[in-house]
Amino acid sequence: MDFIGNQQPQIDEMLQDIGISSVEELFQDIPDRLRLPKPERDDGLSEYEGMRHMEELANKNSFQYLDNYLGAGAYEHHVPAIVNAICSRSEFLTAYTPYQAEASQGMLQSIFEFQSAICALTGLDIANASLYDAASACAEALLMALRVNKKRRKILIADSLHPHYRKVIEQYLANLDISLDTLPLQEDGQIGDLSAIDEETAAVIVQYPSFLGIIDDIKTISQKAKSVGALTIISANPLAYGLLANAKELGADIAVGDLQPLGLPLQFGGPYVGYMACTHALMRQIPGRIVGETVDTKGRRGFVLALQAREQHIRREKATSNICTNQALAALASLIAILWYGKQGIRKLALTNYQRAAYLKEQLEALPALTTFTTAPIFNEFVITFPGSIQEIQQRFRDAGIEPGLALGRYFPKWQNSLLIAVTETKSKKQLDHYIKVAKELV
């Protein structure tokens, strides 16, 4: 505090130079609801006091004591022990983004293998070195589409895209002269009317499976988009590709998503890692960097940064994005999990998720008063509507040691009494039967 007081004249001068009267004006774009009240005096905590405070906060977390059926973009999966064993090695754990690339052959190789794995999962030609998460990957993909279809100013977003992803898209594209329109849902939660896809549309973005866990007819959507020259972007749970059609088979031009289901624990919401793949024709528009494989003058295998379409490296007007960082450590974790499971293992893992979700859904639908609004195919999430207050339903489940799912009314008011329930390979039949037993007692 004394330091700031001593520097106040210089601070006042700097504020005057940039045309504001107080430091608080620097943060005027941040909503008041997100700001913490300014303390009169803060001398901080000692190391011991800080540790005790963190322990008190951690003890409020009841997650470890509940069977968790929350999903909606962040899923409880088993993380193979080999993931942490390799990621904890100092050459990976402490490595930074490879500015002196060719001196970082180990890191470049891991990124190259990561790109190869993403191409194998999606079926597309090119993948970049990763992005922050699925939400920012969706926004970057739409910016790609706008660069390709320069004269088109309309984006269509499926109403079943994750609401958080849409918020990030809106923030990314807020100052561009474009319209963000919606592909509406039918009463059964599926995408229905495609008439909005026209010659003004730059791109259509859909989720696979959708936020509601539904498998939409993406192929028909992509065919409609292609017929009018629009791009199709699929935001997908990568695990679904182990069992269902991949992005190429669905007709996608760009595939994005979050690799959290493969090798990354929930860890309080991040860090995760976004992936992006595209067709060869769009390679020059992909943000971030691409690692390539080559040979040196002696014919030995080596890796290089083959493409960096960022303003730091090329002319600003030619840059695709200011994205330069890749989530290298998180990407490595996902890569290790993918390689550990292998082609057949990922298929079996995906099938297990599907089967266990289908079992719970079928048993719940058979109970009186519990319903679902759709008969559409699902992957590892589904929606069930309960009678009465959803808050009371959640509390009854929690009293029985279960976090039963996400209250859907927060995002879709017409489904106020519905839960979005996620089931992964971490749930045994005994746990699923316990969920069914509690549901029976409720109705």
Query: Do 264 and 399 belong together in one domain?
Result: no
CATH code assigned at 424: 3.90.1150.10
120 assigned to some structural domain: yes
Q: Give the burial class of 63: count Cβ atoms within 10 A of its Cβ; 0-12 exposed, 13-18 middle, 19 or more buried.
A: exposed
Separation in Å, CA 203 to CA 50, 156, 212, 224: 49, 6, 22, 11
Query: Do 111 and 73 belong together in one domain?
Result: no
19 assigned to some structural domain: no
pLDDT at 42: 65
Query: Do 301 and 437 belong together in one domain?
Result: no
pLDDT digits (tens, 9 = 90+) for 266-324: 988 889 999 999 999 999 888 888 898 999 889 989 888 887 765 455 566 666 666 66
pLDDT at 351: 97
Query: Do 331 and 435 belong together in one domain?
Result: no
Tell me which residues of the chain have a pLDDT lower than 70: 1-7, 40-43, 63, 96-101, 309-326
Domain boundary at 310, 338, 366, which?
338
pLDDT at 96: 67
Domains identified in the chain, total number: 2
pLDDT digits (tens, 9 = 90+) for 165-184: 999 999 999 989 999 999 99
Residue 165 contacts residue 136 (beta carbons within 8 Å):
no
Domain boundary at 285, 308, 338, which?
338
1 assigned to some structural domain: no
38 assigned to some structural domain: no
CATH code assigned at 221: 3.40.640.10
Query: Do 329 and 210 belong together in one domain?
Result: yes
Query: Do 249 and 317 belong together in one domain?
Result: yes
The sign of the dihedral angle between the CA atoms of 157, 162, 167, 171 is negative
Query: Do 111 and 213 belong together in one domain?
Result: yes
348 assigned to some structural domain: yes
pLDDT at 202: 96
H, E, C per residue of the chain: CHHHHHCHHHHHHHHHHCCCCCHHHHHCCCCHHHCCCCCCCCCCCCHHHHHHHHHHHHCCCCHHHCEECCCCCCCCCCCCHHHHHHHCCHHHHCCCCCCCHHHCHHHHHHHHHHHHHHHHHHCCCEECCCECCHHHHHHHHHHHHHHHCCCCCEEEEECCCCHHHHHHHHHHHCCCCCEEEEECECCCCCECCCCCCCCCEEEEEEEECCCCCECCCHHHHHHHHHHCCCEEEEEECHHHHHCCCCCCCCCCCEEEEECCCCCCCCHHHCCCCEEEEECHHHHHHCCCEEEEEEECCCCCEEEEEEEECECCCCCHHHCCECCCCCCHHHHHHHHHHHHHHHHHHHHHHHHHHHHHHHHHHHHHHCCCCCECCCCCCECCEEEEECCCCHHHHHHHHHHCCEECCEEHHHCCHHHCCEEEEECCCCCCHHHHHHHHHHHHHHC
Query: Do 425 and 287 belong together in one domain?
Result: no
Query: Do 203 and 130 belong together in one domain?
Result: yes
Query: Do 318 and 352 belong together in one domain?
Result: no
Beta bridge partners of 131: 274
pLDDT at 2: 45
Query: Do 347 and 295 belong together in one domain?
Result: no
pLDDT at 106: 85
Alpha-carbon gap, residue 296 to 303, rounded angstroms: 9
State the pTM of this model: 0.86
349 assigned to some structural domain: yes
55 assigned to some structural domain: no
pLDDT at 314: 58
Alpha-carbon gap, residue 194 to 434, rounded angstroms: 41
Work out the angle at residue 391's Cα, subtended by the Cα atoms of residues 385 and 396, and round it to the nearest 5 degrees.
90
415 assigned to some structural domain: yes
Domain boundary at 286, 318, 338, which?
338
Query: Do 269 and 328 belong together in one domain?
Result: yes
Range of the structural domain that residue 102 is part of: 81-338
pLDDT digits (tens, 9 = 90+) for 105-121: 888 899 999 999 999 99
